[in-house]
Structure 1
């Protein structure tokens, strides 16, 4: 009897150990919700729909994008954080809810580290330092020199907290100060900059490229390790004296914490294979970025490092924490 009971226990234990794998093998058995914190037509939304199409094709169940914009991405992030950890709620998130919010808010209705499981990074999109087309500043060193001559006199348009933080990092590296003019969105900020209301700004490449190419803005530097393919004559920040300065917007895939690792691995593998293939590379390139993939652990380490760096800049620059 004892031997039979022991055998039964071992069998039950084996079933329990095998159940996550079995669940992963059959995953998904119903539609998967893909939450985005930005409205339809945004970069994150477009990316989510691209990946959802490929995941649907590969896994045989619909991956359905659901937009939950507003409230500094709190609504979307909280919906994912509170979802069942079964693999049927996915988050295509930008750096704003997963990094910036952690640095500029004292309390969040979610924890960007502990409430989520990083699955795969997607792409990163370099920021560009820009001035009005008729600005007297032809280069980034000329702009920096002007700020040194008149501390805090020049003002910069900031469409999002992430852009303000990126600009304050550049200020810190050069020992200068500017006066921030905050806007409710990148569009109004860049429109006012082009009209000469502000002196300079920084924004993700897709937000400013049309105005640069249209002669409304002048690009001074690319905050990337290499020149941008659409702006071959614009130097990187490092080329003009700002070694190591890089600033990006980025996107990645997350599940709620405690989703079976086998499910996360399966989805992550498809995302990485898709992005590193010709269609995925062409898609990210068309959006102005570069494919940015790696293991789930590399993505988690990257996010943590970005939070620490951002918090330091917020503190040094005395950016108000809400």
Structure 2
């Protein structure tokens, strides 16, 4: 039996909403009259990721299309660090005039609210959502010569030997994913925290961990160094059609993924917000954006501001519950 949040999550992930632009279109004439000089100068897109990362590249694609749409440059400003908090503070400290927007992720818009003890911001109260952008599903990875050929193998052994298996996590968010998988599969394994995806890959290759839940390893899988037991999305990945989904592997509720989105300070005037919403939705659904996501094995996410806000609330509620239920230490 699925909770309503599970069902709405799946509906959100499996399609691109068709009616968002139409509903916004009626607000544009008023917005244009109210703020007919916006934008009159470049917009800064603060990106919570390092230059050259997949999410940074995605942000640059969106920025380029957005620039063409609004007739002003959209300048990417990378502010990685502290689980996205550096980027968040950069945006919130800037004038709330629509000229500074945040390109963030599930960490900045949801997970931090569950994991950080003294949060310096509220992702709901401090940000007005513009649009969800994309999702990229995780995989359960094991070394190529692992005795686990399927998820059923791994789960069966973990149930026989509670606490004997180790899993690697490249960030606190990945730790939550592994904990959620343990909960859903009815297993107990030891989460080992690493500083990033690269360290997790090294730990897998060196057999320091038995498995990892991560959005990494495509080239390692293709080269035969790692094996993917399952992918967490509702559909198989086009680049790895032989890898079953979690539903096919027996854990249908596990829908873990990285997602990206855009937002602005809640102090931003609403007419400007309306203009940005329409422009961002158009950029997110552009052919350039869709082509990029396809190459990255990522998917466009459905939903404008309202869908993003509801989705944020669901995510925050889920992660807070998992943190509390499993005694995860706050940062």
Structures share a fold, TM > 0.5? Answer: yes
Cα distance in 2, alignment partners of residues 279 and 74 from structure 1: 29
Q: Which residue of 2 aligns with 1:45?
A: 56
Q: Which residue of 2 aligns with 1:139?
A: 150
Cα distance in 1, alignment partners of residues 32 and 276 from structure 2: 14
Q: Which residue of 1 aligns with 2:298?
A: 289
Confirm or deny that 1:120 pairs with 2:159.
no
Cα distance in 2, alignment partners of residues 291 and 174 from structure 1: 28
Q: Which residue of 1 aligns with 2:179?
A: 168
Deviations 1:70-113 (A, max 9, x none): 12222111111232221010000011121111111111111111
Q: Which residue of 2 aligns with 1:84?
A: 95
Cα distance in 2, alignment partners of residues 20 and 286 from structure 1: 36
Question: How far apart are 1:19 and its partner, in Å?
Answer: 9.3
Q: Normalising to structure 2: TM-score of the pair?
A: 0.88
Distance 1:194 1:84, change over 3 A: same
* Residues 272, 293 of structure 1: 8 Å contact kept: no
1:62-211 alignment runs, 5 A limit: 62-204=73-215, 207-211=216-220
Q: Which residue of 1 aligns with 2:249?
A: 240
Identify the range of structure 1 (187-196 vs 270-279) with the bigger mean alpha-carbon deviation: 270-279
Deviations 1:17-74 (A, max 9, x none): x996535332111111110121101122112111111111111111111111112222
Cα distance in 1, alignment partners of residues 85 and 282 from structure 2: 30
Gaps of 5+ in 2: 1-28
Higher relative contact order (CA 8 A, sep 6+): 2
RMSD of aligned Cα (Å): 1.6
Q: Secondary structure in 1 aligned to 2:35?
A: helix
* Residues 204, 211 of structure 2: 8 Å contact kept: yes
Gaps of 5+ in 1: 1-17
Q: Which residue of 2 aligns with 1:221?
A: 230
* Residues 131, 277 of structure 2: 8 Å contact kept: yes
Question: How far apart are 1:279 and its partner, in Å?
Answer: 2.2
Q: Normalising to structure 1: TM-score of the pair?
A: 0.90
Q: Which residue of 2 aligns with 1:3?
A: none
Q: Which residue of 2 aligns with 1:8?
A: none
Q: Which residue of 1 aligns with 2:3?
A: none
Q: Secondary structure in 2 aligned to 1:321?
A: coil
Q: Secondary structure in 1 aligned to 2:245?
A: coil
Q: Which residue of 2 aligns with 1:272?
A: 281
Cα distance in 2, alignment partners of residues 74 and 277 from structure 1: 29
Cα distance in 2, alignment partners of residues 24 and 218 from structure 1: 54
Q: Which residue of 2 aligns with 1:11?
A: none
Identify the range of structure 1 (300-309 vs 186-195) with the bigger mean alpha-carbon deviation: 186-195
Question: How far apart are 1:241 and its partner, in Å?
Answer: 1.2
Cα distance in 2, alignment partners of residues 25 and 132 from structure 1: 58
How many residue pairs were aligned? 303
* Residues 82, 256 of structure 1: 8 Å contact kept: no
Deviations 1:143-165 (A, max 9, x none): 01111111011100100111111
Cα distance in 2, alignment partners of residues 223 and 177 from structure 1: 19
Question: How far apart are 1:271 and its partner, in Å?
Answer: 2.5
1:260 to 249, 266, 269: 269
Question: How far apart are 1:262 and its partner, in Å?
Answer: 2.8
Cα distance in 1, alignment partners of residues 121 and 30 from structure 2: 29
